[in-house]
């Protein structure tokens, strides 16, 4: 935690405690046991992570339900590691982009592109790289898996943090400079708290994507290298190849419990705690609640234990403070020479051009125009799938979302479920669909497609619910006073009202679907392999074959498609929504 | 007065000295401050009075070391201001409290920056909180407090670092009338009893009565560019009485000085307009304009009003009233002189007219006296399609003013022209047209 409550109240509380009444209360016992359990489990899994690579073959993943908790734990730890890596990346890179104009010129466009690169494509290269980095240890494979999750999470978190840093309120900035806060203090007292709500929301979104990729990245085959890390993803892969229906059910159950625990033990407390960072100056009516957070706040012993930590944190805050201030802290950046800027820009462009040339040459060595045409054809097929599916999902979920959102009592119950479903890795459910297709002999080209949106459609639902809940009641009253026809009610009142929210949801859903296509367009059950024609299948097959030039080409084209889709459709819609349809 | 202060008052070096300070942007194209000089001595409260856009807040921030002036020198205790000096702290119009820190943490912030230990920090913060009357609110978050309490936190935070100079940027203008008055009185009491560890206060305000009530000296700023137009010493004893004739006379005097400005430039003759579109237009709603015209036309003013009582009866501060009054002057609906506002013949006619006639009158005045309106109308008339992209005018305006001001002016003229039905603007296509949707 960043700010421990050090107010008078807790001081006097501590004073009474030290007078001999150090009685841990019942909340202490509860909180301590939960925390101890979490620490023990994490330590156990962390040690296992560094085991020898041979363990993977001597003690392979088995479908014994007794092992499932252990696998779940290992999967969770990967998530933890990735989220911590993402946070560090966010703090460093976003700060750099916000503080240095030249770094900004490189970082922001790069992030924009990286956001649209299919994450699973990275695996091909990173597995080889990381295995070479830690020969003979599982750590290499672990790192590759963690890196895959990291690439699914880091970019939007970094964007959010960067945006917050750029929009720090001017008056608070002036107070900080006026008092001469050190940059360390400024970061923790002003910038990080101001960015916290946005960052936490984006981290939550990232986590949802993360579960998907952790499942997809545990059992990896790249060319001749096959790695199966102990985890739910590997369990699932094994269950599929053994055609073990029950084991798939176990995986679904384990995943559900895992996400529930993660939400209850980690995210809810953080959201409840972070409520105070919201910058609005009015007290909010609905405070996010969390029983864990309440529990921690009611503990007595833990507060006492926390005090030295708080004191240490406090001392850390003073590092470098109080020294004579030297350089003037000016609002305007010192005028830098325009020539240097231009040179820097030329340098960047040259580097980018060189990169492009190298890539093209690399691909050209083995592939020709026919391959490019094939990839674009696949890209179009996947594009059609994504577009149709998002449209279908919108047709279904927008009316339902509006219906739910306008009824606060229902919304309160449905909203957490929708968020839970969004976090649930849809690839765990794929086998059920595949079995159905195999059994009925339906066309994979059509029926594998819904898998792409299985996990991402919920973004549309819960954003629409949020939009409808926030719709001003006076506008609804106007609509009912004028007895609008239901056509007018939808087109003139409701749809414009929820549009900004819908765009956000649909944008996320689209991005997720592109990513999911790599997993969804190719599916198998035992020895039966299903395949749909599309770019996702192309990349998946190339990865499995270890055919790097094809992977590079596939990823490049998919990034291009996603970027174009975002630029030509979503961004204009977003701008339009911001300009014309904002209700506040 | 303040004994703590009288000891140092003998010291000949002024606390703050500002000499020929200029502040401009875009390589001197937009001048905010022009050759401003100011001396702040120990033991006095000095007010900077002026309209928004007169650069007084900019000056305050230059003294605080938050902005580097383009030219000129600022010294604090004889030494040039480099960075943000320790002996100066600031109170903000928006309070500028950290919403995620409690009252106590907010107050401690400045001490933390100085590297002071937590025990000492707490002791000093509690002292400041006691002094400013915030006891009991230590663990509250700003969003739980009323505006008045928030500004008290702002004051405590500024005082806790024991500054010599307290800068206040319109500290009471975001508060309601009653709360502002309580805070002013409390602050003056603390000041005259010498209980605050400060030697001098420099405050920016646009409330004339506030300036006369609190200050020993008032500097009146003129706008565009900001210059010190006059300096008035106020020798009335504290506590001051708003109803005291001497007080009223001073208020009246300041109103007169602030309205006695160079008359608005008029186009040489109606046809030639290009030269004069460089004026930033005020964005004042036509409802406010007609409201003020009607008020002045009616009893008890009957066409001519004295500004101070008018402002008081309408509960408007100069920053609210002056733009309306000046818009009326710009449109030749009224004349401003020596603290009075008098309706012209057009103004009187407007007051008596019905809606459509009013619109016609407004259109006439707009074309006759606002060069930009005439220019835009002419461009639209000349074009066969009778429409022109907004970009065309935006770019034209940007040759004369900043991008921000150009946008602002364009919005102002759009709203007036829409009312007058002089020309229309379509937001979707970003075009000005002659056709009103029928």
pLDDT tens digits along B42-60: 989 999 988 777 788 889 9
How many domains does chain B contain in total?
Answer: 2
Q: Give the pLDDT score at A88.
A: 92
**Alpha-carbon distance A174 to nearest alpha carbon in chain B (angstroms):** 7
Yes or no, beta carbons of B83 and A323 under 8 Å apart: no
Chain B, residues 92-151, CB within 8 A of chain A, namely: 92, 94-96, 98-102, 104-105, 109-110, 112-118, 138-139, 141-144
Q: Dump pLDDT digits (tens) for A343-380.
A: 888 888 888 888 888 888 887 777 778 888 899 999 99
Same fold, A23-278+300-315 and A367-580: yes
**What is the structure's pLDDT at A397?**
93
pLDDT at B5 over 60: no
Residue A30 has pLDDT above 90, yes or no: no
Q: Where are the domains positioned within chain A?
A: 23-278+300-315, 367-580
Nearest CA among B174, B178, B146 for reference residue B319:
B174
- Both B248 and B283 in one domain: the answer is no
Q: Which residue of B has its CA nearest to A193?
A: B100
Same-domain pairing of B252 and B391: no
| Domain assignment of residue B335, yes or no | yes
End-of-domain residue from the set B257, B288, B311: B257
Would you call B166 an interface residue with chain A, using a CB distance cutoff of 8 Å? no
Q: Which of B257, B292, B308 is the last residue of a domain?
A: B257
Q: Do A326 and B83 touch (CB under 8 A)?
A: yes
A window 284-343, beta carbon within 8 A of B = 311, 314, 317-318, 320-323, 325-332
Closest CA to B357 of B300, B417, B420: B420
Radius of gyration of chain A (CA): 26
Same domain, yes or no: B251 and B366: no
Cβ–Cβ of B142/A281 closer than 8 Å? yes
Residue B198 vs residues A246, A307, B4, B81, B88: alpha-carbon distances, Å: 77, 35, 9, 18, 9
**Nearest residue of chain A to residue B154 (CA atoms):** A175
Q: Under a CB-based contact definition with an 8 Å cutoff, are residues B102 and A295 in contact?
A: no
B224 and B304 in a single domain? The answer is: no
Judged by a CB distance cut-off of 8 A, whether residue A180 touches chain B is yes
Residues B321 and B371 in one domain: yes
ipTM for the predicted complex:
0.78
| pLDDT at B57 (0 to 100) | 87
Encoded tokens for A370: 């026919």
Q: Is B299 in the same domain as B223?
A: no
The Cα of B27 is separated from the nearest Cα of chain A by a number of Å equal to 12
What integer pLDDT is reported at residue A287 of this predicted model? Answer: 66
Instruction: Identify the residue with better confidence: A524 or B233.
Output: B233
Is the pTM higher than 0.90? The answer reads: no
In order of A291, A493, B13, the CA distances from A404 in angstroms are: 26, 16, 71
Question: Do residue B83 and residue A179 have CB atoms under 8 angstroms apart?
Answer: no
Q: What's the CATH code of the domain at B237?
A: 3.40.50.300
Domain membership of residue B114 (yes or no) is: no
The predicted structure's pLDDT at residue A49: 67
**Parallel, antiparallel, or unpaired for β B16-25 and B71-76?**
antiparallel
Judge if B243 and B357 occupy the same domain: no
Does a structural domain hold residue B269?
no
CA within 13 Å, CB half, A518: 27
Could you say which of B257, B291, B322 is where a domain stops?
Answer: B257
Judged by CB atoms closer than 8 Å, whether chains meet at B98 and A280 is answered as no
Taking an 8 Å cut-off on Cβ atoms, the answer to whether A177 and B115 are in contact is no
Do residues B314 and B245 share a domain?
A: no
Cβ separation B83–A332 shorter than 8 A: no
B83 and B219 share one domain: yes
Same domain, B216 and B244: yes
Residues B324 and B424 placed together within one structural domain of the fold: yes
Give the pLDDT of residue B9: 47
Residues above pLDDT 70, as percent of chain B: 91
DSSP per-residue letters across A436-452: HHHHHT--HHHHTTHHH
Domain assignment present for B127: no
**B406 with B305, same domain?**
yes
Residue in B328, B336, B352, B5 with CA at minimum distance from that of residue B191: B5
Q: To the nearest whole angstrom, how far is the Cα of A277 from the nearest Cα of chain B?
A: 5
Return the H-helix or E-strand segment holding A305. Answer: helix A301-317
Q: Is the peptide bond before B300 cis (omega within 30 degrees of 0)?
A: yes
Q: Please give the residue range of the domain that contains residue B208.
A: 3-87+163-257
Specify the CATH number of the domain A23-278+300-315.
Answer: 1.10.3720.10
Residue B140 inside a domain? The answer is no
CATH class for the domain made up of A367-580: mainly alpha
What confidence tens digit (pLDDT) does each residue in A295-323 have?
A: 777 776 667 777 778 778 877 777 777 66
| pLDDT score of A117 | 77
Q: How far is A10 from chain B (nearest CA, A)?
A: 10
Q: Is the pLDDT of residue B408 over 90?
A: no
Cβ contact A281–B143 (<8 Å): yes
């Amino acid at each position: 935690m960043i700010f421990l409550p050090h107010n008078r109240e807790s001081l006097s509380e501590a004073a009474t405690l030290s007078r001999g009444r150090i009685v841990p209360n019942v909340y202490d016992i509860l909180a301590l046991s939960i925390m101890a359990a979490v620490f023990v489990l994490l330590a156990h899994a962390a040690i296992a992570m560094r085991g020898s690579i041979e363990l993977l073959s001597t003690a392979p993943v088995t479908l014994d339900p007794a092992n499932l908790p252990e696998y779940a734990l290992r999967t969770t730890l990967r998530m933890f590691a990735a989220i911590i890596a993402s946070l560090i990346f966010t703090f460093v890179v976003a700060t750099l982009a916000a503080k240095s104009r030249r770094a900004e010129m490189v970082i922001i466009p790069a992030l924009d592109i990286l956001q649209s690169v299919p994450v699973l494509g990275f695996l091909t290269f990173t597995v080889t790289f990381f295995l070479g980095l830690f020969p003979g240890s599982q750590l290499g494979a672990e790192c590759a898996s963690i890196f895959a999750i990291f690439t699914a999470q880091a970019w939007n978190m970094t964007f959010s943090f960067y945006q917050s840093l750029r929009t720090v309120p001017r008056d608070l900035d002036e107070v900080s400079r006026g008092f001469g806060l050190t940059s360390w203090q400024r970061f923790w007292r002003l910038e990080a708290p101001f960015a916290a709500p946005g960052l936490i929301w984006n981290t939550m979104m990232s986590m949802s994507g993360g579960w998907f990729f952790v499942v997809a990245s545990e059992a990896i085959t790249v060319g001749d290298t096959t790695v199966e890390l102990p985890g739910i993803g590997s369990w699932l892969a094994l269950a599929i190849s053994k055609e073990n229906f029950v084991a798939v059910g176990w995986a679904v159950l384990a995943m559900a419990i895992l996400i529930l625990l993660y939400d209850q033990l980690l995210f809810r407390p953080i959201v409840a705690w972070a409520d105070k960072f919201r910058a609005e100056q009015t007290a909010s009516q609905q405070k996010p609640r969390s029983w864990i957070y309440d529990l921690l706040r009611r503990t007595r012993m833990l507060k006492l234990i926390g005090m030295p930590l708080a004191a240490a944190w406090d001392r850390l805050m003073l590092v470098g403070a109080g020294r004579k201030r030297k350089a003037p802290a000016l609002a305007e950046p010192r005028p830098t020479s325009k020539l240097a800027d231009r040179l820097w820009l030329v340098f960047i462009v040259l580097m980018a051009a060189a990169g492009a040339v190298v890539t093209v040459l690399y691909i050209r060595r083995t592939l020709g125009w026919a391959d490019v045409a094939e990839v674009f054809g696949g890209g179009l097929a996947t594009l059609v799938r994504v577009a149709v599916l998002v449209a279908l999902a919108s047709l279904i979920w927008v009316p339902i979302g509006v219906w739910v959102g306008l009824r606060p009592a229902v919304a309160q119950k449905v909203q957490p479920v929708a968020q839970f479903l969004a976090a649930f890795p849809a690839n765990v459910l794929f086998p059920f669909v595949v079995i159905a297709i195999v059994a009925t002999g339906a066309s994979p080209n059509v029926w594998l497609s819904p898998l792409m949106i299985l996990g991402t459609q919920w973004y549309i639902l819960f954003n629409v619910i949020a939009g409808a809940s926030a719709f001003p009641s006076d506008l609804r009253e106007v609509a009912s006073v004028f007895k609008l026809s239901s056509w007018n009610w939808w087109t003139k009142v409701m749809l414009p009202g929820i549009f900004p929210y819908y765009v956000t949801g649909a944008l996320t859903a689209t991005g997720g679907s592109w990513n999911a296509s790599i997993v969804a367009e190719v599916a198998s059950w035992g020895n039966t392999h299903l395949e749909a024609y599309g770019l996702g299948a192309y990349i998946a097959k190339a990865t499995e074959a270890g055919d790097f030039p094809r992977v590079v080409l596939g990823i490049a084209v998919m990034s291009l498609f996603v970027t174009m889709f975002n630029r030509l459709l979503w961004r204009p819609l977003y701008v339009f929504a911001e300009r014309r349809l904002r209700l506040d | 007065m303040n004994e703590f202060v009288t000891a140092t008052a003998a010291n000949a070096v002024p606390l703050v000295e500002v000499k020929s300070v200029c502040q401009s942007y875009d390589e001197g194209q937009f001048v905010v401050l022009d050759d401003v000089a100011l001396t702040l001595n120990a033991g006095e409260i000095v007010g900077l009075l002026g309209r928004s856009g007169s650069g007084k807040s900019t000056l305050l921030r230059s003294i605080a070391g938050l902005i580097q002036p383009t030219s000129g020198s600022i010294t604090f205790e004889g030494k040039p201001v480099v960075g943000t000096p320790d002996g100066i702290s600031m109170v903000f119009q928006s309070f500028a409290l950290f919403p995620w820190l409690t009252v106590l943490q907010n107050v401690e912030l400045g001490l933390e920056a100085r590297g002071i230990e937590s025990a000492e920090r707490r002791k000093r913060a509690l002292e400041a909180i006691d002094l400013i009357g915030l006891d009991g609110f230590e663990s509250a978050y700003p969003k739980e407090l009323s505006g008045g309490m928030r500004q008290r936190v702002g004051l405590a935070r500024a005082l806790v670092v024991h500054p010599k100079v307290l800068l206040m940027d319109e500290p009471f203008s975001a508060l309601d009338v009653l709360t502002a008055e309580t805070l002013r009185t409390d602050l003056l009491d603390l000041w005259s009893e010498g209980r605050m560890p400060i030697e001098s206060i420099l405050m920016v305000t646009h409330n004339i009565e506030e300036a006369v009530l609190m200050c020993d000296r008032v500097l009146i700023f003129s706008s565009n560019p900001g210059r010190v137009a006059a300096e008035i010493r106020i020798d009335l004893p504290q506590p001051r009485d708003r109803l005291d004739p001497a007080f009223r006379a001073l208020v009246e005097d300041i109103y007169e000085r602030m309205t006695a400005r160079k008359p608005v430039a008029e186009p040489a003759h109606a046809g030639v307009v290009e030269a004069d579109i460089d004026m930033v237009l005020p964005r004042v709603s036509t409802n406010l304009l007609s409201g003020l015209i009607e008020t002045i036309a009616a009893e008890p003013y009957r066409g001519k009003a004295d500004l101070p009582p008018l402002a008081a009866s309408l509960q408007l501060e100069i920053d609210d009233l002056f733009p309306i009054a000046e818009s009326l002057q710009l449109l030749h609906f009224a004349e401003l002189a020596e603290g009075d506002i008098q309706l012209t013949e057009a103004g009187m006619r407007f007051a008596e007219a019905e809606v459509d006639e009013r619109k016609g009158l407004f259109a006439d005045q707009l074309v006759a006296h606002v060069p930009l309106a005439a220019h835009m109308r002419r461009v639209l008339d000349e074009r066969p399609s009778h429409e022109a992209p907004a970009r065309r005018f935006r770019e034209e305006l940007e040759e004369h003013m900043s991008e921000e001001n150009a946008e602002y002016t364009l919005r102002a003229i759009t709203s007036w022209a829409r009312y007058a039905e002089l020309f229309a603007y379509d937001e979707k296509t970003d075009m000005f047209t002659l056709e009103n949707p029928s």
